[in-house]
Amino acid sequence: MLEHLDDPSPPEPTAQALGTVLERSYRLRRRRSLSAATGAGVMALALGVLIGSVLVRSSAPVSTDFATRAGVATGTAVPLSDLEDVTFVSDSVGFGLAGHGAQTALAETENGGDTWQVVQGDLPAKYPTQILFANSTRGYLWGGAPSTDGALPLWLTSDGGRRWVEAPIGPVVSDVSAIGSDVWAMVGTCFIGASEPAGSCPVILEVSVDGGATWAASGSSPPLTESSALSISDQDVELARMTNEHAYVLSFVPNATGTGSSSGQLVFTSDGGQTWSPRSDPCPSRFDFGEQIAGSGTQDLWLMCASQASGGTQAKALYRSTDGGHNWTLAAAANAPVLSGNVVLPAGGGLPAGGYVSPYSLGHEDFAVLSPTTAWLFPDRAGVFETSSGGLRWKPVDALANAGFAWGGAGNVVFVNATHGWVCETGTGLWRTSDGESWQRLGQ
């Protein structure tokens, strides 16, 4: 699916204070905490970002009592403002995560998002987690908070989300792609928090050709590592799969100081993971605190680079490649010198400095690339932006604002083709386009 980039056609806080902030953030928006090894300064920054995020989201409209119920039955209607994340398999059928009490429910729509009903009232992985459906029955669930032993398993369903079973892979599943019954899972080999100080762990690719019923490691492991640092949700590895055989994998560990060389590692396979070759990482120093990868084909790549974040602002840079990552060109930049050590990149283009991308949000959620010319970006605490010039020029989506979309929230943007897309804003509602230009607020 296009939102997952795998279709071919943020004084040192006390433990108590940090725990309170993380718990509140956990329920309101997916968050990656920064490694405990990055030091007091970065932890203080992360705390500030999380607190600011919580304050912004706390001002969002509070919907019905659905979110506070201890449990909900299958078939219960889900208010659109309680949706936290949506994904679609066609222009009519979609699935969404919704929070109620300490549980996370799975909801389904069969009319393009107009109405939603509970399919499963208590998922095995709690929000913040990720969902991916290959079709109306077969789905995948992973992420969220690690278990007490530091594992993040993958959960599978073959009946539209009613029953879930754990996949026999792990211990830490970071990203998943499904093209039909051909499923890839990027797996970290160390439990989260298993080493003190945090160490680097090999990454492997697990493959299933029968929708997750059986799994086997790929012919060779990608030359990548990820951090075993304790975090709220492990998202160190991002998979951008272009076809059944062609994929790029970005392994990223947030730079502790923002002053060193890029911490991203990018590799490519053209034979289903049998062999891997490195690709260059263009993110410059001070813009290498966060990275996320996207693309629309085997040669067309978009790499977002980001600085540390503070006060609702984050310096960003977009690099483009038309030859599969061998060469990169700076397409646009949002400079914030105070956050990038006074490093200023020679580009503009309307890319927003306001709002947060990686590592404070998930790349698959906020960055949807539809073609070599067209893409959509929804930074946390900002609005939705679009480009039709290959990333050279970005503009806010005024049609969304005209349809009641409010800036300052968080959520995700997803398209199933060039014209049918949705924007979900947590705590506010859901918007849909059927022509890629005009937008309608659903449920009104």
Give the confidence band of 65 by pLDDT, cuts at 50, 70, 90.
low
What pLDDT sits at residue 2?
55
Q: pLDDT tens for residues 274-310? A: 999 999 999 998 898 888 999 999 999 999 999 989 9
Per-residue pLDDT reduced to its tens digit, 212-260: 999 999 999 999 887 776 554 445 789 999 999 999 999 876 554 444 4
User: Mean pLDDT lowest for which of 43-47, 157-161, 289-293, 403-407?
Assistant: 43-47
Say if residue 370's pLDDT is above 90: yes
Question: Taking the CA of residue 1 as centre, how many other CA atoms within 13 Å lie in the half-sphere pointing to its CB?
Answer: 30
pLDDT of residue 49: 37
Residue 321 has pLDDT above 60, yes or no: yes
Give pLDDT, residue 18.
35
CATH of domain 2-441: 2.130.10.10
Mean pLDDT value of segment 349-377: 91
Q: How far apart are CA 174 and CA 234, in angstroms?
A: 6
* 39 compared with 232, residue with greater pLDDT: 232
In 197-346, where do the E strands start and end? 200-208, 216-217, 225-227, 237-241, 247-252, 264-269, 277-279, 290-295, 301-310, 313-321, 329-334
Between strands 411-415 and 130-133, the pairing is unpaired
The pLDDT assigned to 197 comes to: 56
HSE of 204, CA atoms in CB hemisphere, 13 A: 14
Distance separating alpha carbons of residues 356 and 380, to the nearest angstrom: 5
The tokens of 23 are what?
């718990």
Q: Is 316 exposed, middle or buried (0-12, 13-18, 19+ CB in 10 A)?
A: buried
* Mean pLDDT score across all residues of the chain: 83
Q: Can you tell me the mean pLDDT for 164-176?
A: 95
Closest CA to 86 of 422, 427, 441: 422
Domain locations along the chain: 2-441
Return the pLDDT at 257: 46
Gap between the Cα atoms of 109 and 87, Å rounded: 10
Give the three-state DSSP class for 301. strand
Q: Please name the residue that has the structure tokens 């946390």.
A: 380
Tokens of 159: 């009946």
Predicted local distance difference test score (pLDDT) of residue 285: 87
Contacts of 248 (CB under 8 A, 6+ apart): 239, 240, 241, 242, 266, 267, 268, 279, 293, 295, 301, 325
Residue 48 pLDDT exceeds 70: no
Lowest average pLDDT, out of 192-201, 366-375, 423-432, goes to 192-201
Look at residues 46, 49, 51 and name the one whose alpha carbon lies nearest to residue 20.
Answer: 51
pLDDT of residue 363: 67
Whether the per-residue pLDDT at 13 is higher than 80: the answer is no
